[in-house]
Amino acid sequence: MLLKVENLQAEIDDKQILKGLNLEVKPGEVHAIMGPNGAGKSTLANVLSGRDDYEVTAGSVTFDGEDLLELDADDRARKGVFLAFQYPVEIPGVSNKLFMQTALNAVREERGLPALDMFDFDEFAKAKIELLDMRADLLERSVNVGFSGGEKKRNDIFQMALLEPKLCILDETDSGLDIDALRVVANGVNALRSEDRSFIVVTHYQRLLDYIKPDHVHVLYDGKIVKSGGFELVHELEEHGYDDIIQQHNKD
Amino acid sequence: MQRKISPVAKQAVEHYIAQSTLLNERCDNSSLIASRQQAQTLLAKQAFPTQRDEDWQYTRLTGFIQNQFEQKPATPLTSEQVRQYMPSFPVTMVVFIDGWFSEMLSDDLENLPRGVVFESFKDALNISGDSNKLFAKESDITKEPFGVLNSLLLADGFYLQLAANAHMDLPLFVLHIQTSDNHLSNVRNFVELGENAELAIVERYVSLETRAKATSCTNVVTQIDMAKHARCKQVVMQEQSDNGFYFNNQFIYQEDSSSYSSFYGSLGCQLSRHQNHIFMNGEHIESQQNSACLGKDKQVVDSRTDTQHNDVWGNSQQLHKYVLTDSAVGVFNGMIRVDQKAQKTDGQMDNKNLLLSEIAKMDTKPQLEIYADDVKCSHGSASGQIDENQIFYLQARGIRRADAIKMITHAFLLEPAELITNDQIRHWVTDRLTVALAGIQQ
């Protein structure tokens, strides 16, 4: 088991968002988390990646045999947790090159690998830039500054490709993307799929999932997973919306 | 109305006037004597500003007034001692020790390229037949209290003249070294750029390493006259002892199509105040003024610009950034004034400040005064702490929180230096800023 979430409860500003969430992810699996606005999807992504704003009040998260909740965000990243942001952040003056070379060498240090120098890094990065159809001057530019919404999301996927994490959490990466950008992001994700890399794809829509075809689909509502199934659940939701599931859940 | 002057301030005024009188007794240049006398009258009348003066509200002179600085002779230094302050790239070197020009430690300044004349201000007074021209702008200079002090004690500095179309092969690097406690370096520079002349000048203000804790004062006035199409690129790095005082007033007079660009880096001194006064007196003039100021401990870091658009099609651009930690105080005051005649002016001024501690403080006042109706002007100011979202974004990629803060702060402070087009000078400047930042982030 790569990730085991048990009875996870979390709050922000004294408001409880996650109310006892359970989730198990095996290596190589792709899980989709769907649900209506306000269900707690982004909270789950942020709690797993270690954002301080959220307070975990109960439950546990085990990642690769370790207590994930004990670790700071940077240690989680070093151990192989990657969050693709709903809103990737602009950092003026910090080049993508400095940012990613520093990040990659931090992750490599954790894995007991030697640091990459400028030349080795450039070579390594170039292949990934082509894979994700990024602009050629990406590395020289400031992180996300002057990027369109689609470029920012692609830049996150590019970072994911560089850092080669074990668990990739995509927090509504598809929001605000046109169909071409969506395809590039999906292709990037598909290219990175492997036996020992897992994904949690948080999304409101089925569009991205049509390209990615997750192994497991979960419906998150009111801080809990209320229904799980296979890829067919995506199309069930597309036809009937969340109402049936929500009504069923509220009845129980 | 009679100004209220404290007994300590009165003593300081008397102290500096007495020094000025002494200088005049030993002087035979009538223009210089007259200029000093005029300054004596002004200082006796107005004394030093206090917090009741709006322009000095956030920049208290109490510490300066308590120290009655003396204009002492220069300490002899060897070229070995000076070498450590030189950059590694080729320059034409000018050295001032304690405010006095050192011919011995400077490069050969007699055989400069055609059309370039360098003299110490002292010599310039004696040889130039028309020493009145050196005092033509006294009325502007003495509007500033430290301009008054500068005229009062005027004794040395440099005179640099570039004839039409002249330029120097290498950047002029002017090194000012403070060596002794309680000393006042009083420097007056005059730069005259002929039509289409081009100058790259770097000024560096340091305290001798062995006197790293010295309390001394540097007071500079630089006048730059720029004829049509002249270009001047200036860098000023202020890295003096953390106990020191630094005042610099620059007066730039620009004619048609001239272009002036200046970068100011402020790192040292307990109190520093750097002021640009730019007079854009012609058409199609460009000016750029950027600064990067770092404040720590109880430092007060003051930087000001006064940009006067007096004719059509002027373009002025400014970016001023402060990083403040501990209980440092940053002060920025910028004025863009657009004359009625100055249509089609484009004036942009931006001030951004990063506060790294809870008690660091920034006082900022960007101002626009516009009397023309067809202009594009803007000013902005923002002060705040590092955005937690930025820190988290870097952390989420495996970068330690402390390193993330360093990376963001570093990028923030270095941005104004991007205007320096000469790669060697820019790298030298960013190295200075990087070292200083590392010092506050240990």
Q: What are B146-180's pLDDT values in tens digits?
A: 999 999 999 999 999 999 999 999 999 999 999 99
Low-confidence ranges of chain B (pLDDT < 70): 1-3, 128-130, 211-212, 442
CB A159 to CB B389 under 8 A? no
Question: Comparing A110-114, A175-179, A212-216, which segment has the lowest mean pLDDT?
Answer: A175-179
Closest by Cβ to A73, choosing from B387, B395, B412:
B395
Hey, of A46, A74, A152, which one would you mutate to test binding to chain B, going by the most B CBs within 10 A of its CB?
A74
Q: What does the pLDDT read at residue B214?
A: 79
pLDDT-based confidence at residue A87 (cuts at 50, 70, 90): very high
Determine the residue type at B435.
V
CB B414 to CB A73 under 8 A? no
Closest by Cβ to A159, choosing from B389, B397, B412:
B397
Query: Distance between CA B100 and CA B106 in Å, rounded?
Result: 12
H or E segment and range at residue A43: helix A41-49
B382 in contact with A, Cβ within 8 Å:
no
B392 in contact with A, Cβ within 8 Å:
yes
- Candidates A89, A205, A228, A234; CA nearest to A147 is A89
Query: Distance between CA A84 and CA A170 in Å, rounded?
Result: 5
Hey, of B319, B387, B397, which one would you mutate to test binding to chain A, going by the most A CBs within 10 A of its CB?
B397
- Please provide the DSSP assignment of B369-438 as one string: EE--SS-EEEEEEEEEPPPHHHHHHHHTTT--HHHHHHHHHHHHHHGGGGG---HHHHHHHHHHHHHHHH
Q: What does the pLDDT read at residue B129?
A: 63
Q: CA of A94, closest CA in chain B: separation in Å?
A: 6
Chain B residues touching A72 at Cβ < 8 A = 395, 401
Q: Tell me, what's the ipTM?
A: 0.96
Query: Distance between CA B430 and CA B434 in Å, rounded?
Result: 6
Residue ranges per structural domain of chain A: 3-89+148-251
Hey, of B390, B393, B413, which one would you mutate to test binding to chain A, going by the most A CBs within 10 A of its CB?
B393
Q: CA of A82, closest CA in chain B: separation in Å?
A: 7
Token pair listed for B253: 């007079």
Q: What does the pLDDT read at residue B130?
A: 66
How many CB atoms within 10 Å of residue B135?
20
CB B401 to CB A74 under 8 A? yes
What spatial distance separates the first Cα and last Cα of chain A, rounded to whole Å?
30
- Range 257-276 of B in CB contact (< 8 A) with A: none
CB A52 to CB B392 under 8 A? yes
Q: What does the pLDDT read at residue B265?
A: 98
- Candidates A150, A182, A156; CA nearest to A170 is A156
Q: What does the pLDDT read at residue A248?
A: 83
Chain A residues touching B395 at Cβ < 8 A = 50, 72-74, 77
Q: What does the pLDDT read at residue B212?
A: 65
Neighbouring residues of B308: CB distance < 8 A, sequence distance ≥ 6:
B277, B278, B279, B280, B337, B339
CB A93 to CB B395 under 8 A? no
CB A50 to CB B396 under 8 A? yes
Residue percentage of chain A with pLDDT more than 70: 100
Summarised one tens digit per residue, pLDDT across range A41-79 is 999 999 999 998 999 999 999 999 999 999 999 999 999
CB A92 to CB B397 under 8 A? no
CB A50 to CB B395 under 8 A? yes
Q: What does the pLDDT read at residue B411?
A: 94
pLDDT-based confidence at residue A184 (cuts at 50, 70, 90): confident
CB B407 to CB A73 under 8 A? no
- Candidates B3, B303, B239, B27; CA nearest to B153 is B27
Closest by Cβ to A49, choosing from B387, B390, B396:
B396
Q: What does the pLDDT read at residue A241?
A: 84
Closest by Cβ to A89, choosing from B393, B403, B407:
B393
Q: Summarize the confidence of residues A149-165 as an average pLDDT.
A: 93
Helices (H), ranges, B128-215: 138-141, 145-152
B386 in contact with A, Cβ within 8 Å:
no
The answer regarding whether domain A3-89+148-251 maps to CATH 3.40.50.300 reads yes
Summarised one tens digit per residue, pLDDT across range A231-240 is 999 988 888 8
What's the pTM? 0.89
Q: What does the pLDDT read at residue B183?
A: 95
Q: CA of A216, closest CA in chain B: separation in Å?
A: 25
Q: What does the pLDDT read at residue A150?
A: 87
What spatial distance separates the first Cα and last Cα of chain B, rounded to whole Å?
51
Chain B residues touching A82 at Cβ < 8 A = 396
CB B399 to CB A163 under 8 A? no
Query: Distance between CA B153 and CA B71 in Å, rounded?
Result: 8
Buried b (16+ CB within 10 A) or exposed e, B179-202: bbbebbbbbbbbbbbbbbbbbbbb
Q: Give the residue from chain A lying closest to B402, CA to CA.
A: A74
Hey, of A86, A94, A140, which one would you mutate to test binding to chain B, going by the most B CBs within 10 A of its CB?
A94
